[in-house]
Amino acid sequence: MNIDYLSLRLVELPLRSPFRTHQGVINKRTLIIVEVADQSGRKGYGEVTAFAEPFYTSETTQTAWHIISDCIVPNIDFKEVMHPFDFPEQLTGVQGHPMAKAGVEGALWDLYGKQTEQSLSKMIGGRKKRVKAGAVISLNDSTAEGIKALEEKGYERYKLKVDKGRESEIIEQVKQLSPDLPLMIDANGAYTEKDMAHIETLDDYGLTMIEQPFQAGDFYLHQQLQQHLKTPVCLDESVMSFHDAKQAIQLGSCQVINIKISRVGGLSAAIKIHDYCAQENVPVWCGGMIESGISKAHNLALASLPNFSIPGDLSGSDRYFEKDLVTPGIQMENGEIEVPSLPGIGVEVDESYLERVTKKSKRFCL
């Protein structure tokens, strides 16, 4: 791929409004943007979507910066990377840190698409020209005004963040506003084994699914719950790799899987999980991380694969940001978003704005 350099940028993007879950409140989004360039000056962009604090997974922007700078860049022979699929094969000496790996791999995919004049969707076998969008309703949004605004935009699926012990109150509040809303809830691992009977009472609400009831890695408890629950269990934080996805399906720990490129270590792993889930007739959807348009463009390509049958956490740029890193921003129309068809991720990075929101940067000559 004739890679000349790799650069990292730590950026801070202000949110339109605070995003609140039971884990905390996010007022600004801190991200790492990975840029790779070849000797002809073409650039590819990836995004590390870890948060500044380790409330979602153990990775943070600080750990990812360290891993890329001190472990990945010095130990990977980028001259041997002829195709993005080659990159994960060189990472056997770096255990864990999937979000750091995914950010670098994403930049390689974008660059490779520009070098070969292919869209990312085409390169990975995507079939859809447009994908259905789903809204994530934070605890700030569960008001009449917030729900109405989302409905008017035409979202096809609604994911409600809930506080343990207040689920019924929050669900009923939303259902009073819009009884027919296709609603799921996301617990982000808030429950324990003692809550099993309580979770089973949520069957009465006709939810499309319950996402990540228990802590990540607890396949046994999820399997026990799914045995007694009519509502499908969806796994998010539990699935950090292809091995996790396979184990969850074979144990019967879930009926649905949320695939996030960053959480599973990159697009290569995400495709492998998608293909296995399709083989096992397990539907999947594409999760989001309150990310910029760079990561959204990668997600749209992934969601164009055929087994992504459930609307994902896909939204327009204006859902979270007044101004995005890409121009024009990702646009949603009538509940759908067009899959970019230009080479690479198919969107243009606003380099002047990227420079303005950069807090620190580092460049590595390769």
- Alpha carbon of 343 to those of 42, 109, 295: distances in Å? 11, 10, 15
Of 309, 310, 299, 307, the residue nearest 346 (C-alpha) = 299
Catalytic residue among 161, 164, 323, 359: 161
pTM above 0.85, yes or no: yes
Check if 28 is active-site: no
The pLDDT, as a whole number, for residue 245 is 98
Q: What is the DSSP secondary structure assignment for residue 195, as one 8-state letter? A: G
Tokens of 317: 């740029």
Of 269, 84, 106, 305, the residue nearest 286 (C-alpha) = 305
Of 227, 197, 226, the residue nearest 210 (C-alpha) = 226
| pLDDT tens track, the chain, 366 positions | 999 999 999 999 999 887 766 666 788 999 999 999 999 999 999 999 999 999 899 999 999 999 999 999 999 999 999 999 999 999 989 999 999 999 999 999 999 999 999 999 999 999 999 999 998 887 666 567 778 888 888 998 999 988 888 888 889 988 888 888 899 999 999 999 999 999 999 999 999 999 999 999 999 999 999 999 999 999 999 999 999 999 999 999 999 999 999 999 999 999 999 999 999 999 999 999 999 999 999 999 999 999 999 999 999 999 899 999 999 999 999 999 999 999 999 999 999 999 999 999 999 999
The answer to whether residues 349 and 45 touch, using CB atoms and an 8 Å cutoff, is yes
Q: What are phi and psi of 45, to 5 degrees?
A: -125, 135
The pLDDT, as a whole number, for residue 178 is 87
The pLDDT, as a whole number, for residue 162 is 84
Across the beta sheet with 358-365, what order do the strands follow? 43-48, 24-38, 3-21, 358-365
Which residues contact residue 229 at a Cβ distance below 8 angstroms, ignoring those fewer than 6 apart? 199, 200, 203, 210
Query: Which amino acid belongs to residue 352?
Result: S
Residue 15's DSSP bridge partners are: 321
What are the chain's domains? 3-117+350-365 (3.30.390.10), 123-338 (3.20.20.120)
Check if 260 is active-site: yes
Alpha helices in 154-230 (DSSP H): 167-177, 196-200, 219-228
The pLDDT, as a whole number, for residue 64 is 99
- Please, how many CA atoms are within 13 Å of residue 252, restricted to the half-sphere of its CB? 7
Where in the chain does DSSP place strands (E)? 3-21, 24-38, 43-48, 130-132, 134-137, 157-161, 183-186, 210-211, 233-235, 256-259, 284-286, 326-327, 332-333, 336-338, 348-349, 358-365
Catalytic residue among 43, 114, 132, 260: 260
The pLDDT, as a whole number, for residue 88 is 96
- DSSP letters, 48-101, are E---SSTTSSS--HHHHHHHIIIIIHHH--GGG-SSTTHHHHT-TTS-S-HHHH
Of 179, 182, 133, 132, the residue nearest 160 (C-alpha) = 182
Q: Give the three-state DSSP class for 211.
A: strand
The pLDDT, as a whole number, for residue 66 is 99
The answer to whether residues 242 and 269 touch, using CB atoms and an 8 Å cutoff, is yes
The answer to whether residues 59 and 260 touch, using CB atoms and an 8 Å cutoff, is no
